[in-house]
Structure 1
Amino acid sequence: MTEQTHQIRLHVNGVEHEAAVPARRLLSDALRHDLGLTGTHVGCEHGVCGACTVLVDGQPMRSCLMFAVSAAGHEITTVEGLARPDGELGPVQQAFRECHGLQCGFCTPGFLTTITAGIAENPDPTEDEARDMVAGNLCRCTGYQNIVKAVCRAAELARSGEDGAA
């Protein structure tokens, strides 16, 4: 028996996409498999690790916990949407590069989206606030020191406009 699909429109990274998905298709799977946006990584599939975090209407959301049909009508930003329109790195991406905030890179997309939302809410975090900001994301490679440094540096870049963003 063929599973019934639903025709949905997803607004991802400023572009509208149409997809036919089963009702139980996770947003993470729709992004990766239906839209070809493979930057969103799937780790634990239980919402614990944070690797699949995307922004839904500017708020961090575990895409492995949200159905794609529920995302219709919302603005979704994946890691691919964090770069500037000219392709240059956004402030969080730039800070991760400068501060060596990644190693294997598997968890990085979730950190980048989480931090982007965190800095929008708190544009001048202390080191403790930066640590709290990323506390819900797991990394098996780093000791989080450079990730915390990257949060503070990203906030600095965003405030000063050094990343070129308006």
Structure 2
Amino acid sequence: MRINFDVSRSHCWKPFFTGSFPHSSLTSVQPEQLVYRRSDRTTAVELQDRIERTLRDKIMSWRPHRPTRWNRHCTTALKHFLPSLELGGGGGRDAGEGHRHELQSMLGDNRISGFPLNMPFSEMAPIVEAVYSTGVHTTHSPNVEFALAVYVHPYPNNVLSVWVYLASLVRP
């Protein structure tokens, strides 16, 4: 609390490297060259499948007294959207409208409610928490179906971008 971070006030801070300071023996802690390792696409696909299975199981367990039906047709469409969202930086509002129109034309009169989630992968718990916090699983309509798609995009050094597209479809 007593530290003053105003470095323009010389009575609070002293320069470390000056002409009178012999710093020739100090070396940098930063490596001379940064090495980027390729991420394994197979591992990303395996993680993608594991996340999808885990989320399906969790959604069904969060609806213990109601049947949870999955709409495979919508799931296939959602899986098609996710790589383009990653490569397009999320796509913005225009991409969302395009997805909605494409889904509506495929699925007819169903009322569709859903959205994509994007997060970095560190562990499974934050992904499950993010999906749970959407509340999509709380739909009480007796003729509701769900669609779930997961995409994992690998970047160098095992940085993984996880996309989850979750939707509920209610037949009229």
TM-score (norm 2): 0.28
Larger relative strand fraction: 2
- The structure whose Rg is larger is 2
TM-score (norm 1): 0.29
